[in-house]
C-alpha cells in the first residue's frame, strides 16, 4: 500500500515541473513580444544638426571651388588680353621694321647700282688704257724697226687698213695669255649659260639678283649675274609694260686653268688646234677676235700676221692683267681690221 502512494507522489511532482517550465517559457515569450513592440513603436531620434550641417559643408566647399575657378578664369582672360595687346604691338613694330628694311634695301640697291656703274666705267677706262698701250707699243716697235733697218733695205709689210669696222657676222674668239693661245667656244658657252640661267630664275623670287656658274665647256666656264629690275614710269610709257624685268647684269668667260691652250709656236704649226679651228670657216665671212693680255702683245702680232696671210680679218681686244673676258648689256662689239 505504501508502495503505491510513493509512485503517485513522484508522478505529481513531474507534472508540476513541466507546468513551471511551460509557464516560464510563456512569460519569456510574452516579454520578448513586449520588448519587440516597444522597440517598433519607439521613434528614432536623428541628430538633425549633423544632417543639416553635411549639405551646408558640401555647398560651402562647392562655393569655394566655384569662386576659385572664377578667379582663375578672370586671371586667364586678363592674361589673354595682355598677350593679344602685346601681339598687336609686336605686329606694329614688325610693320614699321618691314617698311624701314624695304627703304634701306632700296637705298642699298641704288647705291649698288651706282657702284656697279662706276665699276663698269672703271673697267672700260682700263680697257681703253690697255688699248692705248697696245697701240703705243706697236708704234714704238715699228719705229725701232724702221730706225734700225738699213736705209737701202726697207721692207714694208702690207696689213689691213687700221680703220676698223664693227663685227656683225661669224666670229671666232681666242684668248692669248702668257704666250698661249686657246679657243673660246663662245657659242656653246652662251647656249649652256642660257639653259642654266633659265633653271635658276626661281632665285629671283626672294632676291633682286643672283650669281651662278655653268659647267666647263672647251676649257672655259661662264660665271654670270642675273638681276630683277623694276620698270620705271618712263619705261612703262615707252614699252607699255609694268612690273619688273629680268636682265643679264654681267657674264664672264673664265678659263679652268692658267696654262690652257697651246703656245704661239705650236699654234702656227701644221695640224695645230688653232689651224683646226680655222678649217671649217670661210675667211671672207669670219672675223677672228683675240682677247690679248699685256704679256702677249708681241705674240699677237705673229698671230695677226698669219691670219692676214690666210685672209681673215682680225679684231684685237686688249685686256688689263687680271681682268676676265666679260660682257654685259652695255658691252661693245669687236672691231675688225
Strongest mean pLDDT among 76-85, 123-132, 154-163, 242-251: 242-251
The mean pLDDT value for 231-236 works out to 74
Name the least confident of 43-52, 84-93, 228-237. Answer: 43-52
Within a domain: 175 = yes
> Distance (Å, rounded) from C-alpha 111 to C-alpha 105?
10
Residue 41 backbone phi and psi in degrees, to 5 = -85, -10
Higher pLDDT, 132 or 259: 259
Cell of 263: 703656245
**Rounded to whole angstroms, how far apart are CA atoms 226 and 204?**
8
pLDDT value at position 7?
45
Comparing CA positions, the residue from 213, 205, 284, 287 lying closest to residue 254 is: 213
Q: Considering the domain boundaries, does residue 285 fall inside one?
A: yes
Does 27 map to a domain? no
Site of grid cell 673660246 = 184
Do residues 300 and 290 make contact, with C-beta atoms less than 8 angstroms apart? Answer: yes
Residue 4 binned pLDDT confidence (cut-offs 50, 70, 90): very low
Residue 103 lies in a domain: no
Q: Is residue 149 part of a domain?
A: no
Domain membership of residue 271 (yes or no) is yes
- The answer as to whether 55 is a domain residue is no
Look at residue 331 and tell me whether its pLDDT is greater than 80: no
Residue 264 falls inside a structural domain: yes
In this prediction, residues 135-152 reach a mean pLDDT of: 65
Domain enclosing residue 329, as ranges: 163-336
What are 305's three cell numbers?
A: 700676221
Per the structure, the count of domains in the chain is 1
* Whether 337 contacts 160, CB under 8 Å: yes
Amino acid at each position: 500500500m505504501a508502495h503505491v502512494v510513493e509512485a503517485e507522489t513522484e508522478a505529481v511532482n513531474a507534472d508540476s515541473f513541466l507546468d513551471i517550465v511551460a509557464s516560464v517559457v510563456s512569460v519569456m515569450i510574452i516579454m520578448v513580444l513586449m520588448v519587440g513592440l516597444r522597440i517598433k513603436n519607439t521613434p528614432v531620434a536623428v541628430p538633425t544638426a549633423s544632417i543639416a550641417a553635411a549639405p551646408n559643408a558640401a555647398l560651402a566647399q562647392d562655393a569655394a571651388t566655384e569662386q576659385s575657378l572664377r578667379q582663375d578664369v578672370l586671371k586667364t582672360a586678363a592674361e589673354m588680353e595682355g598677350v593679344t595687346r602685346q601681339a598687336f604691338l609686336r605686329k606694329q613694330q614688325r610693320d614699321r621694321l618691314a617698311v624701314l628694311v624695304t627703304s634701306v634695301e632700296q637705298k642699298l640697291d641704288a647705291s649698288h647700282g651706282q657702284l656697279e656703274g662706276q665699276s663698269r666705267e672703271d673697267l672700260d677706262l682700263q680697257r681703253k688704257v690697255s688699248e692705248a698701250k697696245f697701240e703705243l707699243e706697236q708704234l714704238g716697235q715699228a719705229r725701232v724697226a724702221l730706225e734700225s733697218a738699213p736705209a737701202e733695205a726697207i721692207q714694208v709689210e702690207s696689213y689691213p687698213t687700221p680703220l676698223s669696222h664693227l663685227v656683225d657676222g661669224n666670229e671666232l674668239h681666242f684668248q692669248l695669255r702668257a704666250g698661249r693661245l686657246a679657243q673660246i667656244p663662245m657659242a656653246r658657252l652662251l647656249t649652256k649659260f642660257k639653259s642654266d640661267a633659265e633653271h635658276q630664275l626661281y632665285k629671283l623670287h626672294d632676291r633682286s639678283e643672283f650669281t651662278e656658274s655653268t659647267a666647263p665647256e672647251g676649257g672655259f666656264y661662264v660665271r654670270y649675274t642675273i638681276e630683277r629690275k623694276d620698270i620705271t614710269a618712263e619705261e612703262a610709257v615707252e614699252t607699255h609694260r609694268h612690273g619688273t624685268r629680268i636682265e643679264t647684269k654681267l657674264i664672264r668667260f673664265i678659263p679652268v686653268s692658267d696654262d690652257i691652250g697651246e703656245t704661239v709656236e705650236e699654234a702656227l704649226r701644221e695640224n695645230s688646234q688653232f689651224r683646226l679651228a680655222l678649217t671649217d670657216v670661210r675667211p671672207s665671212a669670219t672675223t677672228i677676235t683675240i682677247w690679248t693680255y699685256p704679256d702677249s702683245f708681241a705674240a699677237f702680232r705673229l698671230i695677226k700676221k698669219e691670219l692676214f696671210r690666210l685672209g681673215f680679218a682680225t679684231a684685237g681686244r686688249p685686256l688689263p692683267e687680271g681682268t676676265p673676258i666679260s660682257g654685259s648689256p652695255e658691252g661693245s662689239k669687236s672691231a675688225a681690221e
